[in-house]
Structure 1
Amino acid sequence: MSAIEQTEAARPRGTRLPRRARRNQLLGAAQEVFVAQGYHSAAMDDIAERAGVSKPVLYQHFPGKLELYLALLDQHCESLLLAVRTALASTTDNKLRVAATMDAYFAYVEDEGGAFRLVFESDLTNEPAVRERVDRVSLQCAEAISDVIAEDTGLSKDESMLLAVGLGGVSQVVARYWLSSESAIPRDKAVGLLTSLAWRGIAGFPLHAVDGQLSAEGH
């Protein structure tokens, strides 16, 4: 059950919930409010009302709006990283790995809760704690991709990381454009197009470097 679904299921005011269930309910309500209004326009009153609880109950779990936002951000950064790692581990066929990784970003962006906006489109990026989390998850996703590239090509850590940052960056930027443009292109076709573009580039690297030099041969 998603955070949004948990919120809907647990919303009636006055219902006593176990602490973990209440926390999830509050996070689901906060996600709805932050995604709809942005951090600066959102108020704790709005979140408490959306959750169907009193504001003191909200403050029992989160001492302030920033702490609530960071808890939500941690949750969704972890979800993105897990999705990318799962995609990379889903197959040993490298072309399918590229497709699965691209699709992980598209699925993340397409999720109806809009959590990607907290990670990629936050209006609080000038807050060091937010910036650190966003940068960290981008780096962790790139590192996961980089490990696969390095293992298969023999490229150096720095070279593999450069390619991985490029693949991850392109994936999330194109996925966000696809969603915001309300494209008529179905997700699977959009992923296929982007995969073809990326694969034409990454497939040009040999499976292993020869004496530290890149071969001109493809896979």
Structure 2
Amino acid sequence: MSETVQHPVGPAGQQPGKGARLPRTARRAQLLAAAQDVFAANGYHAAAMDEIAERAGVSKPVLYQHFPGKLELYMALLQTHADELIARVSGAMESTTDNKQRVQAAVGAYFDFVDSEGEAFRLVFQSDIRGEPVVQDTIERATRACVAAITATITADAGLDEERARLLAVGLVGASQVTAQSWLAGGRQIDKSEAVKLISTLAWRGIGGGYPLQHS
């Protein structure tokens, strides 16, 4: 199924031309990209569906064909980026059997996430409607999944019970998230690879120095 719209805006602000047709999945992706720019710049409350439609180069009826309201549009973005963060952290745990490298990869996953294009991290970490139950549930789900991925590794390799391993995982997730955001807010004054190494070294000295990991 394709749609015809006037003046659609393509990548890098290019306009394919009047009457361009896009498959539904491509149109949805285009709308989400435009919405992300607007939400990241303005926050949820100040973002307007009119502005999102204009940025995407579509009419409001076309936007509403895909998303019945602003919250549904926001949630589609939030869920996409929450899943992305989970995949990054889970992938970090699966990327190696060396636990020191795993810690560095986990920290790196957060730095890469906040440093990614489009400032997707703002939707996950700095949502101005975090009090909305569906938003809070999605963010908490992402945090729990990241903690669970790290907990499973620590439990298996450090000989700790699940509760103690989980507490260490919460500490690693919290440190990674806060320091990554601080690094970005500070204007990336330190090279990202060096910043990741600094934080992962701190975390590894605590985890690796205190517990008998099997793959160190």
Instruction: Tell me the TM-score normalised to structure 1 length.
Output: 0.89
Hey, what does 1:78 align to over in structure 2? 83
1:95-174 paired onto structure 2 within 5 Å = 95-174=100-179
CA contact (8 A) 1:35 1:117 kept: yes
1:192-203 paired onto structure 2 within 5 Å = 192-203=197-208
Q: Among the aligned pairs, what percent are the same residue? A: 56
Distance in 1, matches of 2:82 and 2:98, equals: 26
| Residue 48 of structure 1, aligned match among 12, 35, 53 | 53
Listed one character per residue, the Cα deviations across residues 1-49 of structure 1 (whole Å, up to 9, x for unaligned) are: xxxx858567756421111111000000000000000000000000000
Residue type of the alignment partner of 1:45: D
Listed one character per residue, the Cα deviations across residues 151-180 of structure 1 (whole Å, up to 9, x for unaligned) are: 001211111111111101110110000000
CA contact (8 A) 1:77 1:134 kept: yes
Calculate the aligned-residue CA RMSD, in Å: 1.8
Kindly state the Cα deviation for residue 71 of structure 1 after the two structures are TM-superposed: 0.4
Could you tell me which runs of 5 or more consecutive residues in structure 2 were left unpaired when the two chains were aligned: 1-9
Residue type of the alignment partner of 1:179: L
Hey, what does 1:215 align to over in structure 2? none
Question: Any idea what SS the aligned residue of 1:17 has?
Answer: strand
Distance in 1, matches of 2:167 and 2:182, equals: 23
Distance in 2, matches of 1:13 and 1:54, equals: 13
Residue type of the alignment partner of 2:109: A
Hey, what does 1:205 align to over in structure 2? 211
Hey, what does 2:22 align to over in structure 1? 17
Cα distance change on mapping 1:28 and 1:12 into 2, 3 Å = farther
Listed one character per residue, the Cα deviations across residues 175-205 of structure 1 (whole Å, up to 9, x for unaligned) are: 0000001142100000010011000000111
Kindly state the Cα deviation for residue 99 of structure 1 after the two structures are TM-superposed: 0.5
Hey, what does 2:67 align to over in structure 1? 62
| Pairs aligned (count) | 206
Cα distance change on mapping 1:139 and 1:8 into 2, 3 Å = farther
User: Are residues 1:35 and 2:35 paired?
Assistant: no
Residue type of the alignment partner of 1:207: L
Kindly state the Cα deviation for residue 207 of structure 1 after the two structures are TM-superposed: 2.8
Hey, what does 1:187 align to over in structure 2? 192
CA contact (8 A) 2:104 2:196 kept: yes
Distance in 2, matches of 1:32 and 1:24, equals: 13
Distance in 2, matches of 1:114 and 1:196, equals: 26
Distance in 2, matches of 1:13 and 1:65, equals: 26
Hey, what does 1:213 align to over in structure 2? none
Hey, what does 2:99 align to over in structure 1? 94
User: Are residues 1:177 and 2:182 paired?
Assistant: yes
Residue type of the alignment partner of 2:166: M
Could you tell me which runs of 5 or more consecutive residues in structure 1 were left unpaired when the two chains were aligned: 209-218
Kindly state the Cα deviation for residue 206 of structure 1 after the two structures are TM-superposed: 1.5
CA contact (8 A) 1:12 1:52 kept: no
